[in-house]
Structure 1
Amino acid sequence: MQGLAKGIIMALAAWATGSAARNINRSEDGAAGVCRRATAGWVDDVQTKLVPKLSKEANVYLPGSSGFDDATTRWSALQAPQVNVVVVPNTAADVVETVKFANKKSVPFLAYNGAHGALTTMGKMDTGIEIYMKQLSSVQISQDGKSVKIGGGTNSKLVTDTLWTANKQAVTGTCECVSYLGPALGGGHGWLQGHHGLIADQFLSMDVVLANGSLVTLNPNSDLWWAMKGAGHNFGIVTSVTIKIFDIQYSNWAIETLTYSGDKVEAVYQAANDHFLTNQPSDVINWSYWLNNPGADANKPVIIFYIIQEGVSAVDPAITKPFHDIGAISIEPSAGTYKDLAGWTGIATDSPPCQKSGLSNPRFPIYLETYNVPAMRQAYDLFAAQANIATDFHNSIFMFEGYSNQGVKAIDPKTTAFAFRGDNYLAAPLISYTPADSALDQKAANLGLQLRNILLQASGRQELHAYVNYAYGAETPQQWYGSEQWRQDKLKALKQKYDPKGMFSFYAPIA
């Protein structure tokens, strides 16, 4: 698939069956290169057996077409899945037909949304069909204004923007460029979780294509409902979901962005513990990054610390004063609306972390109850030594997310597959680099794992709590979904019932 000639010109071949016209986009000579020849039988059958069953607005892309390249490019190049055919469904029925075709041909399949998942487990897919959900994008607010139905391929920013114009909002992921459902199926953190809980906690019903190709509607009375709220990637392709929405209570938000030199690590994270750990208001969020900013420090990463507050035009000085007293390189206050949060924190659609620029981007997440200050110093020193501006990993970021948790902790942890409601902070080194060879991949993995292990050892825990949506891929199911035996037994029983052949096995598999 990667060996196709650079200069291939795309030609369009269209078929009409009955009243529907369907497109396959392919290379000039009608071939799909080495990948197609290796599996010629089922790829040829896509045209004759699958295309006639798809809606006229559906598309099929083969290697060599620009559509194929656009649809298969991922945010992280490390151990990305490899596919032979891309199907772009326009209806839930298109997803059904594609899954049924794949099952009949014994071909693996994988649903793509924003393609930001970076787990190395997805590299186990070395052939098969990508189901690219981009055209299943819609946001339909109910007549009573209490819920919204969201298409399975809808981007988070579209959800936020559409609801905002109707004076509504919902818990979505923080990053604008990701899909709504990708984070949600793993639990999903968001700016509003202090009020309402995780993204998955907002689910009211969903339409799901199961492993056998059947389309079902799930609700809280379904036995699979529990699993979809934290381990949903393992059980089906969600073609639409209906969620709770809320009136906008405050349209104004404010932030202070404080930049510190690395010698302030102890002071910054001791202050975070002192002022946010036990009494963080539901309308206040703290985030921080360690990253290289030569304009602030030419040699070592700096600490970027964000204090965000809802319903104000300036962050409360009582909250910011302890952080001012530490002595920052710079302090930048800003005021705006909820829609400015992603831009302020560097995760808007046009921000560098949202670009698919061919980098490898493994992450190594860990949930924490508190910041162990000596361990933070140890981790910073290692990060500064191996990810400074002069190294291969100079684009790396160490992320620390300190959301309000009242809404998350208010929900019984036994009611969802998401297991880590008791934790307060989410930390994750993101080791970003230009791909080169397996030695560099291993070096990056070693750094990420070392950084995480420093924090784990200092936590006093034996078991790692890892956010599945940020996971590296080498973690265990217990580390993704909770180590309690009843959790593992329940997940495995549901997996055996709904996906006994393991068709959904590429994203943080249960077993």
Structure 2
Amino acid sequence: MEVIAAVAAGAIASACQNAVLSSWLVSICPQRDYVKELGDRLSRHAHIYTPGSDDFKTATTRWSVAHAPEVKLVVVPSIENDVAETVKYANELGMPYLALNGGHGAIKTVEKMKGGIEIWMHQLNGVEISEDGARAKIGGGAKTKTVIDALWAAGKQTVTGLCECTSILGPGLGGGHGILEGHYGLISDQFVSMNIVLADGILRTIDESSEMWWAMQGAGHNFGIVTSVTLKTYDIIYRDWAYESFIFTGDKVESLYDNINNHLLKDGSQPVEIMHYSFFFNNPEVDPTNPLIMFFILQEGNMVVDPTYTTPFHELGPISTDGEGGSFLDLATWTGNDNNSPPCQKAGLVNYRFPINIESYSVPAQRQVYDLFASATKETPALNGSFFLFEGYATQGVKAIPSESTAYPFRSDNLLIAPVINYAGGDAEIDKKAVELGENLRRILHEATGREEMHTYVNYAYGEETKQNMYGYEQWRQDKLLELKNKYDPQRKFSFYAPIA
């Protein structure tokens, strides 16, 4: 009996030491000191936060509170190897893990992480510009404003998103649209090399010679945690930028989007120095009955937007206009995407997005979605803070890169569209109405394209999109992604954000 008891005790001890505790083991295993065990493996300035602390709350607060992952520990790496040590430790315990940069990834698939480790990347935020100025190495947690400001001070820039508070790599691993893509392509098209922790916990450096490189440019969330990336940088060509903004009432929907098609979009040949940006929103103080439309034209190289572009919109009779000249550093503030703006606040709200990429505006469909947005937000006041975003970047740089050369699949599309359904959570009926509204708005636009394929931007995805919607309809794309996934992540460690398998 003593032998049997000793064997049983040894088996239990082994189970307690090497596995995440299942419910029946909790009562008989001593509580593991995860903080000490992992802390001994990390660098001096790394941090570990546990539930109940203010730091833990800060680290786990997301832009959208819906479908949040269940976090047991937060690790804040100080050096790149801390990420590798954390992944190794989690693998030994069988614990899941998920990297977080800015916390703006609102896709519902992240809720599948239960009782795991969040690796909060925000200390890995350095920007190192090469001696010749042609490259910059940025940390895996670097935010957009940090990168823009550091490069600008050196007379350089690269493709980044418009929103200051998001990271570079979060969007970049899914392609990454940005204000300079008309010149240079997507964020991911700027990648030169990267340091990445793969599923085995080993920190590797890869570049275009790696078979994984193709996947990292559009589906990178599925293959590892990028601790730093080296990007192409470019001399600043024009320091001057200008904007003009217009606010229209809902009766101008048809004429506004017809003008955009004819005077700006021009069948996909939008001038490279121009970006247009609009959204539906509610402001009862201005119009208590119907949503308004905010419309921006941004121009590179001028201190006043060329009247060639703005005159057709003045002629529509906006209820107000505004404009200013400045520099690239002003764009986020002008458009309401700076660090102090509402989109950068984590206000405890639900934010659902339902993206679709299209080639041009269907004017009748724009009327349909406007009317549906108006009626739904009126009938359900809880959804009144929602907005409907239409982004029109110049696309020459994106289309100049062969579609088959990267995992990003939809280079021929000209417009990036997403209703953002925004509300306070906690009511299942409102949740249902929110999802129905977002899906119906997207469905109307998709049907108007006349295409069987629905193209969606993975970085804005809600989480019910198909793999084809996010990663392309060609069978060879799906086969190639799956082959790489099976080779580099056979146990599906990286399958919480828009998984391919």
TM-score, normalised on structure 1?
Answer: 0.91
Match of 1:22 in 2: none
Return the alpha-carbon distance in structure 1 between the equivalents of residues 310 and 380 of structure 2.
33
1:337 paired to 2:327: yes
The aligned residue for residue 52 of structure 1 is 40
Counterpart of 1:255, as a letter, is Y
Contact 1:96 1:214 in 2 (8 A): yes
- The equivalent of 1:5 in structure 2 is none
How far apart are the structure 2 equivalents of 1:405 and 1:43? 55
* Other-structure match for 2:191: 203
Query: Does the 8 Å contact 1:207/1:238 carry over to 2?
Result: yes
2-side partners of 1:253 and 1:47: how far apart?
49
| Aligned: 1:129 with 2:122 | no
Cα separation, 2, equivalents of 1:211 and 1:493: 15
Could you tell me how far 1:327 is from its partner in structure 2? 1.1
5 Å-filtered alignment, 1:179-328, equals 179-278=167-266, 279-328=269-318
Residues 264-322 of structure 1: CA deviation (Å, up to 9, x unaligned): 00000001111122331100001101001234322211010101100101111011111
Q: In 1, are the aligned partners of 2:359 and 2:415 still within 8 Å (CA)?
A: yes
Rounded to whole Å, the distance in 2 between the matches of 1:136 and 1:199 is 19
Matched, 1:86 2:74: yes
How far is 1:126 from its partner?
Answer: 2.2
Aligned counterparts of 2:380 and 2:139: Cα–Cα separation in 1: 44
Change (3 A) 1:150 1:38: farther
Contact in 2 for aligned 1:89/1:133 (Cα 8 Å): yes
| Pairwise CA RMSD | 1.6
Change in CA separation of 1:185 and 1:41 when aligned onto 2, cut-off 3 Å: farther
Distance 1:42-1:428 versus aligned 2 partners, 3 A rule = farther
2:373 alignment partner AA? F
Distance 1:329 1:47 in 2: 58
Aligned to 1:491: 481
The CA distance in 2 between the partners of 1:318 and 1:41, in whole Å, is 74
Residue 409 (1) aligns with residue 399 (2)? yes
What are the within-5 Å matches in structure 2 for residues 371-410 of structure 1? 371-388=361-378, 391-410=381-400
For structure 1, the 5+ residue unaligned runs are: 1-34
Shift of 1:324: 1.0
Instruction: Give the Å deviation of 1:335.
Output: 1.1
Out of 427, 437, 447, which is 1:437 matched to?
Answer: 427
Query: Which residue identity is paired with 1:498?
Result: Y
> For 1:200-258, what per-residue CA distance to the aligned partner results, in whole angstroms no more than 9, with x for missing partners?
00000000000110111110110000000000000000000000001111111001101
User: What is the alpha-carbon distance in structure 2 between the residues aligned to residue 38 and residue 202 of structure 1?
Assistant: 48
Determine if contact 1:194/1:406 at 8 Å carries over to the other structure. yes
Matched AA of 1:200: S
1:86 CA drift (Å): 0.4
Is 2:408 the counterpart of 1:418? yes
Identical aligned residues as a percent: 55
Report the residue type matching 1:283 in the other structure.
E
Q: Structure 1, residues 374-421: CA drift from partner, whole Å, max 9, x if none?
A: 011000000001124971111111000000000000000101100000
Counterpart-to-counterpart distance in 1, 2:313 and 2:66:
37
The aligned residue for residue 147 of structure 2 is 159
**CA spacing shift, 1:38–1:180, aligned 2, 3 Å:** farther
Q: 1:72 — aligned with what? A: 60
Counterpart CA distance in 2 for 1:139 and 1:43 is 40
Matched-pair contact (CA < 8 Å) for 1:170–1:246: yes
2: CA distance, partners of 1:70 / 1:40: 33
Q: Which moved more, 1:162-171 or 1:201-210?
A: 162-171
2:264 and 2:309 in contact (8 A); partners too: no
User: AA paired with 1:351?
Assistant: S
**Contact persistence 2:151–2:157 (CA under 8 A):** yes
Change (3 A) 1:430 1:40: farther
**Residue 42 to residue 183, structure 1, CA distance change in 2 (3 Å):** farther
Determine the structure 1 residue equivalent to 2:156.
Answer: 168
Confirm or deny that 1:477 pairs with 2:467.
yes
Q: Secondary structure at the match of 1:387?
A: helix
Matched, 1:113 2:98: no
Per-residue deviation, residues 483-509 of structure 1 (Å, max 9, x unmatched): 110000000000001000100011000
Give the distance between the partners of 1:213 and 1:387, measured in 2 at CA.
Answer: 47
In structure 2, stretches of 5+ residues that fail to align are: 1-22
Distance 1:38 1:165 in 2: 55
Contact 2:199-2:224 within 8 A present in 1 as well: yes
Q: How does 1:132-151 map to 2 (within 5 A)?
A: 132-151=120-139
SS at match of 1:172: coil
Pick closer, same or farther for the CA change 1:204–1:460 going to 2, 3 Å: same
Question: Offset at 1:40?
Answer: 10
Aligned residue for 2:424, secondary structure, equals coil
Shift of 1:88: 0.6
- Give the TM-score, by structure 2 length: 0.93
1:57, distance to aligned residue in structure 2 (A): 0.5
The change in CA–CA distance for 1:150 and 1:300 in structure 2 (over 3 A counts) is same
C-alpha contact (below 8 Å) 1:256/1:334 kept by paired residues: yes
Q: What code does the residue aligned with 2:282 have? A: N
The answer to whether the 8 Å contact 1:296/1:329 transfers is no
Q: Distance in 2 between matches of 1:38 and 1:394?
A: 46
Aligned length: 476
* SS of equivalent to 1:431: strand
Q: Is the 8 A contact 2:185 2:401 kept in 1?
A: yes
Secondary structure, counterpart of 1:130 in structure 2:
strand
| Distance verdict in 2 for CA 1:223–1:268, change over 3 Å | same
Whether contact under 8 Å (1:43, 1:85) holds in the other structure is no
Is 1:368–2:355 an aligned residue pair?
A: no
SS at match of 2:297: strand
In 2, Cα distance between the equivalents of 1:38 and 1:308?
Answer: 59
Deviations 1:10-36 (A, max 9, x none): xxxxxxxxxxxxxxxxxxxxxxxxx9x
Q: Distance in 2 between matches of 1:328 and 1:91?
A: 52
